[in-house]
């Protein structure tokens, strides 16, 4: 439980609780460093980033530290479904860098994988990005995360992948969604 939860449950002002904490009377459990920025992010009604989602998937105990925002975080994670079951194989994640450079063979490898795993209902960018980055270690994630947008842009440019995505207006701007193409 963090100081904000104590304040909300006991109706003691945050200012008074901080004074008690400085005096050493109030001892709180150590909080994970990502919890405070994540709470702030969720308090602003923002969607979690791919890196934040991956952190919560790997360390689910952090969700409990989010207090009143825990349910919002759980909802965003559950909307992604079973990430581990459909995570990209290493042969696909190895092509992210080359796909971002526009290499058509690398783009086809990612497109072929997407064609296998995409569900029939529309899924957002986060659904794809989390699955591409999930198998990577922390260092490789940091290196590849900035390249995901560009790699997926190049994959969407392939003629054989044209029916597998579309741009949808949402909240005043366009959002890309991916969807399995139905065979007729």
Residues 6+ apart with CB under 8 A from 105: 98
pLDDT range class, residue 183, cuts 50, 70, 90 = low
> Cα–Cα distance between 34 and 148 in angstroms, integer?
22
118 and 159, same domain (yes or no): yes
Report residue 59: phi and psi, to 5°.
Answer: -130, 75
- What is the structure's pLDDT at 46? 87
pLDDT range class, residue 6, cuts 50, 70, 90 = confident
| C-beta of residue 108 within 8 angstroms of C-beta of residue 158 | yes
Count Cβ neighbours within 10 Å for each residue of 9-40 and write b for 16 or more, e otherwise.
eeeeeeeebeeeeeeeeeeeeeeeebbeebbe
- What is the structure's pLDDT at 47? 87
Asked if residue 184 belongs to a domain, the reply is: no
25 and 44, same domain (yes or no): no
Average pLDDT, the chain: 89
Residues 6+ apart with CB under 8 A from 108: 158, 160
Stretch among 24-33, 50-59, 102-111, 142-151 having the lowest mean pLDDT: 24-33
pLDDT range class, residue 184, cuts 50, 70, 90 = very low
Which residue range is the domain that position 19 belongs to?
A: 1-30
139 and 162, same domain (yes or no): yes
| C-beta of residue 115 within 8 angstroms of C-beta of residue 155 | no
Asked if residue 25 belongs to a domain, the reply is: yes
| C-beta of residue 158 within 8 angstroms of C-beta of residue 111 | yes
* pTM greater than 0.85: no
Looking at the 3D structure of the chain, how many domains does it have?
A: 3
> Cα–Cα distance between 133 and 51 in angstroms, integer?
9
Q: Output 40 or 108, whichever has higher pLDDT.
A: 108
50 and 1, same domain (yes or no): no
Report residue 177: phi and psi, to 5°.
Answer: -125, 150
151 and 113, same domain (yes or no): yes
Tell me, rounded to whole angstroms, the distance of Cα 76 from its chain centroid.
8
1 and 70, same domain (yes or no): no
Q: pLDDT tens digit string along 13-42? A: 888 988 888 888 887 767 777 888 888 889
Output the CA angle 131-88-59, nearest 5 degrees. Answer: 45
24 and 50, same domain (yes or no): no
Reference 109, options 90, 92, 134, 86; nearest CA is 92
114 and 158, same domain (yes or no): yes
Q: Is the pLDDT reported for residue 182 higher than 50? A: yes
């Amino acid at each position: 439980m963090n100081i904000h939860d104590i304040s909300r449950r006991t109706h003691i002002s945050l200012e008074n609780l901080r004074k008690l904490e400085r005096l050493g009377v109030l001892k709180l459990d150590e909080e994970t460093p990502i919890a405070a920025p994540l709470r702030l992010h969720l308090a602003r009604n923002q969607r979690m980033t791919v890196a934040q989602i991956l952190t919560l998937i790997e360390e689910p105990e952090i969700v409990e530290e989010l207090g009143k925002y825990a349910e919002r975080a759980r909802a965003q994670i559950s909307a992604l479904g079973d990430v581990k079951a459909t995570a990209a194989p290493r042969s696909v994640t190895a092509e992210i860098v080359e796909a971002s450079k526009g290499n058509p063979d690398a783009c086809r490898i990612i497109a072929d994988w997407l064609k296998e795993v995409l569900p029939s209902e529309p899924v957002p960018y986060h659904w794809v990005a989390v699955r591409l980055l999930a198998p990577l270690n922390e260092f490789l994630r940091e290196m590849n995360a900035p390249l995901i947008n560009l790699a997926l842009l190049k994959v969407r440019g392939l003629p054989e992948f044209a029916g597998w995505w579309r741009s949808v207006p949402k909240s005043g701007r366009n959002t890309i969604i991916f969807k399995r193409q139905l065979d007729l």
